[in-house]
Structure 1
Amino acid sequence: MHTNAHFPAPTLVSLGDVELEVFEAGRENEGNPIVLCHGWPEHAYSWRYQMPALAAAGYHVIVPNQRGYGNSSRPPEVTDYDIAHLTDDLAALLDHFGYEKATFVGHDWGANVVWSMALLHPGRVEQIINLALPYQPRTPVPWIAFMETVFGPDNYFVHFNRQPGVADAVLDENASQFLRNLFRKNLPSVPPEPGMTMINLAMAETPLGDPVMNDDDLKIFTSAFEASGFTSSINWYRNMDRNWHILSEIDPVIRHPALMIHGTQDMIPPSETLKDLVPNVEVLSLECGHWIQQERPEETTRAILDWLGEQEAAQGRRVGFLALAKGPIRRTNPHAGT
């Protein structure tokens, strides 16, 4: 049986200027929404293990293929993929379902969108769970120049921006091989080859480490990118500097309750300043690499559900405390009952 046999069928949701391909679970649990945001180069299917458990726990699980991915719209302009558009899409998705706010969960690039959602649409965010990518404070100079100085011109963020179209063509031509080589775990510690990492992966005939998923699951990702190409998803990277300017006047501190989940073998290091900018964050590490929710599905799902349960209990305690606090005030108010 294919792993995707019970993955829900999508709905195309019109949000005005774009349509998003949206997968849902637990629709009957409306009123307790949770939005799961995938990374690059991924797909809503990345959350296949978490969706049933979250629905069973009483959540309305909403999992979009974000703009540029799957069968969602792929607008032609690079600037159509800046962080304002990406977060506006999620706000519009809440409007579509009639929700004021939701819990947002993100992995990789999806985590960046979720952190930014808390900055640009703070009133729409109940709480945050992010995987792999910690909150990135603004750099002293725009992102790409900063990364070029630190990591050099072959860094893929820099390459995507400085040589538009080059990587896109290589990845499009070698989509199956690239994704097969990228979605790996238990990677050996070897120095990186010269050149741009993603192009190297697309051209490598022998993958390193172990596969993250079986062939049937990998085919879901491969088929999606063979149909869409990679340019629209890479355009997210081509807005890094634009995003730097968009966020320039925004209060950088995120005060929502947050959970940050790291993979101990991920090349993305934990943030040493996370608590300064996300004061209400808890940090958890799982023994895995970058593809956390697919490498450690049960542990990831349990971590998410446990933390959500703790937040609900804490909210209940706060409500109870407020009720107790108000009681004596009402009883001693000389105007009570008048």
Structure 2
Amino acid sequence: MTSAFDPTDFPEPTLVPVNGVELEVFEAGRHNAGRPVVLCHGWPEHAFSWRYQVPALVAAGFHVIVPNQRGYGGSSRPAEVTAYDLEHLSGDLVALLDHYGYEDATFIGHDWGAIVVWGLTLLHPDRVNKLVNLSVPYQERGAKPWVEFIEDVLGSDFYYVHFNRHPGVADAVFDENTSRFLRNMYRKNEPPRAPQPGMALIDLARAEAPLGEPLMSDDELAVFVAAFESTGFTGGINWYRNSDRNWHRLADVEPIIRQPALMIYGDRDVVPRLENLSHFVPNVEVVTLDCGHWIQQEKPEETNRAILKWLESQDSATQDR
């Protein structure tokens, strides 16, 4: 079992002005300037979700940049729902590279952070040299907008659809039950969001007894709880509320990602794989770990080994050319 991480060991944050907002950024390994890697968290997460990866990447020679993306932690939380679309989220990351003086970087994303990294690579391919994504594969852009498609498949009560059709309802329940909700979300080896009717996520927030084996220590969980008690959940949920806007934005974008990519799945994760991933990401390598959805927190050593082995292989390939 992985030892609990001491939250005081995480880098101190700084506020960085980018793209009309401020991002709370945790940075380490500046002495490794020239090898930037940007870690992008998902929902309902925080930069702290990468706590096990930061020291490993620094030791491997990388300048590690970990933002709380807009809507999270100490970063800006614009009021307008459209301020959380892919255009803004990817623009924040491009501006973050500009702030540090980098033309491009390696981006690593988990959950919604993976969606943003896929989208960033499509919209700004010259700013991404390599990418690693965990849990959520490339989203194929089908004939129907994503929310409508998901509603057809999983129904109107599925959380992804509910967030869009009933704005503010889930937000309020999560805000009222922050600690309980996060404790029940962050479980080992178990699907965090079972695709079933009845608004399973709201059920998680209201469940009296803990559900499943905890993913992290009480001190680690307290970092997430304190952050969301301060910010609420609406900023992060607004990312979901731009799904169809993002679908329209990508209509005329070349859908093929040509950069080297690593896709890491958890074999107990309920997020479905994309079986034809290599059609859209021809230079992809796929790794599967024995875990649930919270891959880099549940299996940090295995995640670090997979990422670092792949990055080393990419460096070797570059040197051989």
TM-score (norm 2): 0.97
Superposition deviation, residue 212 in structure 1? 0.6
- Counterpart residue number, 1:43: 46
Superposition deviation, residue 197 in structure 1? 1.6
> Equivalent residue of 1:71, what SS?
coil
For the 8 Å contact 2:194–2:270, the answer to whether it is kept is no
Listed as ranges, the gaps of 5+ residues in structure 2 are none
Superposition deviation, residue 5 in structure 1? 1.9
Listed as ranges, the gaps of 5+ residues in structure 1 are 319-338
| Alignment length (residue pairs) | 318
Is 1:247 the counterpart of 2:228? The answer is: no
Q: 1:68 to 1:190 in 2, by over 3 A?
A: closer
Give the AA of the match of 1:215.
D
Is 1:161 the counterpart of 2:159? The answer is: no
- Return the match for 1:259 from 245, 257, 262: 262
- Counterpart residue number, 2:126: 123
Superposition deviation, residue 270 in structure 1? 1.8
2: distance between equivalents of 1:162 and 1:116? Answer: 24
> Equivalent residue of 2:132, what SS?
strand
For the 8 Å contact 1:101–1:126, the answer to whether it is kept is yes
For the 8 Å contact 1:66–1:72, the answer to whether it is kept is yes
- Counterpart residue number, 1:330: none
Q: Which moved further from structure 2: 62-71 or 263-272? A: 263-272
CA offsets per residue over residues 16-73 of structure 1, 9 Å max, x none?
Answer: 4100000011011111000000000000000000001101111000000000000000
Superposition deviation, residue 186 in structure 1? 2.9
Is 1:77 the counterpart of 2:77? The answer is: no
Q: 1:217 to 1:89 in 2, by over 3 A?
A: same
Q: 1:282 to 1:190 in 2, by over 3 A?
A: closer
Q: 1:193 to 1:142 in 2, by over 3 A?
A: closer
**Greater radius of gyration (CA):** 1
Report % sequence identity.
64
* Map 1:95-106 → 2, pairs under 5 A: 95-106=98-109
Moved over 6 A (4+): 188-193
Q: 1:219 to 1:122 in 2, by over 3 A?
A: same
- Counterpart residue number, 1:92: 95
* Map 1:139-288 → 2, pairs under 5 A: 139-187=142-190, 194-288=197-291
2: distance between equivalents of 1:108 and 1:2? Answer: 21
2: distance between equivalents of 1:189 and 1:238? Answer: 20
1: distance between equivalents of 2:219 and 2:16? Answer: 27
- Return the match for 1:5 from 4, 8, 12: 8
Is 1:112 the counterpart of 2:115? The answer is: yes
- Counterpart residue number, 2:56: 53
2: distance between equivalents of 1:23 and 1:189? Answer: 26
For the 8 Å contact 1:188–1:209, the answer to whether it is kept is no
1: distance between equivalents of 2:71 and 2:190? Answer: 29
TM-score (norm 1): 0.92
1: distance between equivalents of 2:42 and 2:200? Answer: 17
For the 8 Å contact 1:33–1:62, the answer to whether it is kept is yes
Q: 1:203 to 1:193 in 2, by over 3 A?
A: farther
Superposition deviation, residue 189 in structure 1? 12
Q: 1:87 to 1:155 in 2, by over 3 A?
A: same
Superposition deviation, residue 208 in structure 1? 2.5
1: distance between equivalents of 2:5 and 2:246? Answer: 39
- Counterpart residue number, 1:335: none
- Return the match for 2:137 from 118, 134, 150: 134
For the 8 Å contact 2:194–2:200, the answer to whether it is kept is no
2: distance between equivalents of 1:20 and 1:222? Answer: 19
Q: 1:242 to 1:188 in 2, by over 3 A?
A: closer
Superposition deviation, residue 271 in structure 1? 1.2
CA offsets per residue over residues 278-315 of structure 1, 9 Å max, x none?
Answer: 00000000000000000000010111110000000000
Superposition deviation, residue 184 in structure 1? 0.3
Superposition deviation, residue 115 in structure 1? 0.5
> Equivalent residue of 1:276, what SS?
helix
1: distance between equivalents of 2:125 and 2:268? Answer: 32
1: distance between equivalents of 2:51 and 2:95? Answer: 23
> Equivalent residue of 1:235, what SS?
helix
Superposition deviation, residue 206 in structure 1? 1.8
Superposition deviation, residue 191 in structure 1? 7.8
1: distance between equivalents of 2:105 and 2:211? Answer: 38
For the 8 Å contact 1:188–1:208, the answer to whether it is kept is no
- Counterpart residue number, 1:22: 25
2: distance between equivalents of 1:197 and 1:262? Answer: 22
Superposition deviation, residue 207 in structure 1? 2.7
For the 8 Å contact 2:187–2:211, the answer to whether it is kept is yes
Give the AA of the match of 1:144.
V
